[in-house]
Protein backbone atom coordinates (compact mmCIF):
# COMPACT_ATOMS: atom_id res chain seq x y z
CA UNK A 1 0.00 0.00 0.00
CA UNK A 2 2.97 2.32 0.33
CA UNK A 3 3.42 5.13 2.80
CA UNK A 4 0.74 7.61 3.82
CA UNK A 5 1.18 11.16 5.07
CA UNK A 6 -1.56 12.27 7.43
CA UNK A 7 -1.82 16.05 7.42
CA UNK A 8 -3.45 17.10 10.69
CA UNK A 9 -4.62 20.69 10.86
CA UNK A 10 -7.83 20.87 12.89
CA UNK A 11 -6.81 20.77 16.54
CA UNK A 12 -8.39 20.62 19.97
CA UNK A 13 -11.76 19.55 18.65
CA UNK A 14 -13.47 17.27 21.13
CA UNK A 15 -10.15 16.34 22.70
CA UNK A 16 -11.81 16.61 26.11
CA UNK A 17 -14.86 14.55 25.21
CA UNK A 18 -12.69 11.97 23.42
CA UNK A 19 -9.69 12.07 25.77
CA UNK A 20 -7.47 12.39 22.69
CA UNK A 21 -7.29 13.88 19.20
CA UNK A 22 -9.45 11.86 16.83
CA UNK A 23 -7.09 12.12 13.85
CA UNK A 24 -4.05 11.09 15.89
CA UNK A 25 -6.04 8.28 17.49
CA UNK A 26 -7.07 7.04 14.07
CA UNK A 27 -3.45 7.08 12.93
CA UNK A 28 -2.51 5.00 15.94
CA UNK A 29 -5.34 2.57 15.30
CA UNK A 30 -4.35 2.26 11.64
CA UNK A 31 -0.85 1.38 12.80
CA UNK A 32 -1.87 -1.02 15.54
CA UNK A 33 -4.75 -2.70 13.77
CA UNK A 34 -3.74 -2.30 10.12
CA UNK A 35 0.07 -1.90 10.26
CA UNK A 36 -0.18 1.17 8.03
CA UNK A 37 3.16 2.77 7.21
CA UNK A 38 2.64 6.46 7.77
CA UNK A 39 3.90 9.87 8.80
CA UNK A 40 2.12 12.82 10.38
CA UNK A 41 2.49 16.45 9.38
CA UNK A 42 1.09 18.88 11.93
CA UNK A 43 0.11 22.24 10.55
CA UNK A 44 -2.09 25.17 11.55
CA UNK A 45 -3.31 25.05 15.13
CA UNK A 46 -2.26 21.41 15.42
CA UNK A 47 1.40 22.44 15.74
CA UNK A 48 0.60 23.36 19.33
CA UNK A 49 0.10 19.68 20.11
CA UNK A 50 3.90 19.45 20.18
CA UNK A 51 4.40 21.88 23.06
CA UNK A 52 5.73 20.32 26.24
CA UNK A 53 4.02 20.97 29.58
CA UNK A 54 0.40 20.97 28.46
CA UNK A 55 -2.05 19.89 31.15
CA UNK A 56 -5.77 19.39 30.51
CA UNK A 57 -6.36 17.81 33.91
CA UNK A 58 -8.77 18.99 36.54
CA UNK A 59 -11.90 19.36 34.47
CA UNK A 60 -15.04 18.69 36.48
CA UNK A 61 -18.57 19.13 35.17
CA UNK A 62 -21.13 18.86 37.90
CA UNK A 63 -19.98 15.94 40.01
CA UNK A 64 -18.19 14.19 37.16
CA UNK A 65 -14.44 14.56 36.78
CA UNK A 66 -12.66 13.99 33.50
CA UNK A 67 -10.05 11.48 34.55
CA UNK A 68 -7.87 10.66 32.75
CA UNK A 69 -7.74 13.85 30.68
CA UNK A 70 -6.35 13.95 27.14
CA UNK A 71 -2.57 13.74 27.00
CA UNK A 72 -1.85 14.60 23.40
CA UNK A 73 1.90 14.83 23.85
CA UNK A 74 1.99 11.31 25.29
CA UNK A 75 -0.04 10.16 22.30
CA UNK A 76 2.46 11.72 19.92
CA UNK A 77 5.30 10.03 21.80
CA UNK A 78 3.42 6.75 21.42
CA UNK A 79 3.04 7.32 17.69
CA UNK A 80 6.72 8.12 17.37
CA UNK A 81 7.56 5.02 19.34
CA UNK A 82 5.72 2.98 16.76
CA UNK A 83 7.89 4.32 13.99
CA UNK A 84 5.64 7.11 12.76
CA UNK A 85 7.64 10.17 11.69
CA UNK A 86 6.38 13.53 12.93
CA UNK A 87 6.69 16.79 11.04
CA UNK A 88 5.56 20.34 11.84
CA UNK A 89 5.30 23.43 9.69
CA UNK A 90 7.87 26.02 10.74
CA UNK A 91 5.83 29.05 9.69
CA UNK A 92 2.79 27.85 11.66
CA UNK A 93 4.92 27.52 14.78
CA UNK A 94 6.40 30.98 14.25
CA UNK A 95 3.07 32.69 13.62
CA UNK A 96 1.80 31.31 16.93
CA UNK A 97 4.92 32.33 18.80
CA UNK A 98 5.89 28.77 19.66
CA UNK A 99 9.66 28.51 20.13
CA UNK A 100 11.26 25.32 18.87
CA UNK A 101 12.88 24.63 22.25
CA UNK A 102 9.43 24.06 23.76
CA UNK A 103 8.61 21.21 21.36
CA UNK A 104 8.84 17.53 22.13
CA UNK A 105 12.01 15.97 20.83
CA UNK A 106 12.22 14.03 17.62
CA UNK A 107 10.01 16.26 15.50
CA UNK A 108 11.26 17.46 12.14
CA UNK A 109 10.31 21.08 11.55
CA UNK A 110 9.86 21.81 7.85
CA UNK A 111 9.30 25.00 5.91
CA UNK A 112 6.19 25.33 3.79
CA UNK A 113 8.40 25.31 0.72
CA UNK A 114 9.58 21.81 1.67
CA UNK A 115 6.10 20.33 1.89
CA UNK A 116 5.90 19.33 -1.81
CA UNK A 117 9.05 17.26 -1.35
CA UNK A 118 7.48 15.67 1.73
CA UNK A 119 4.39 14.85 -0.32
CA UNK A 120 6.57 13.33 -3.02
CA UNK A 121 8.09 10.93 -0.50
CA UNK A 122 4.66 9.50 0.30
CA UNK A 123 2.22 7.50 -1.79
CA UNK A 124 -0.94 8.91 -0.27
CA UNK A 125 -1.82 12.23 1.35
CA UNK A 126 -4.77 12.22 3.73
CA UNK A 127 -5.91 15.57 5.05
CA UNK A 128 -7.59 15.71 8.47
Binding site for another protein (CB under 8 A): 12-20, 22, 25, 28-29, 32-33, 59-64, 66-68, 75, 78
Closest CA to 32 of 94, 96, 78: 78
Whole-angstrom CA distances from 44 to 92, 104, 123 are: 6, 17, 23
> For residues 86 and 75, what is the distance between their CA atoms, to the nearest angstrom?
12
Q: Where does the chain have alpha helices with state H?
A: 15-18, 22-34, 72-81, 90-95, 115-120
- In the complex with another protein, which residue's Cβ is closer, 20 or 92? 20
- What's the closest the beta carbon of residue 82 comes to another protein, in angstroms? 10
> For residues 128 and 121, what is the distance between their CA atoms, to the nearest angstrom?
19
Indicate the angle between helix axes 22-34 and 72-81, nearest 10 degrees: 30
- In the complex with another protein, which residue's Cβ is closer, 12 or 126? 12
- In the complex with another protein, which residue's Cβ is closer, 17 or 117? 17
- What's the closest the beta carbon of residue 117 comes to another protein, in angstroms? 30
- What's the closest the beta carbon of residue 35 comes to another protein, in angstroms? 12
- What's the closest the beta carbon of residue 10 comes to another protein, in angstroms? 10
- In the complex with another protein, which residue's Cβ is closer, 25 or 126? 25
Amino acid sequence: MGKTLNVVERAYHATLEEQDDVALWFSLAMKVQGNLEQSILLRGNAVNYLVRGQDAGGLRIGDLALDPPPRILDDLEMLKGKGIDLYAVEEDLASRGVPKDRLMSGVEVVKKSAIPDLFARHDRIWYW
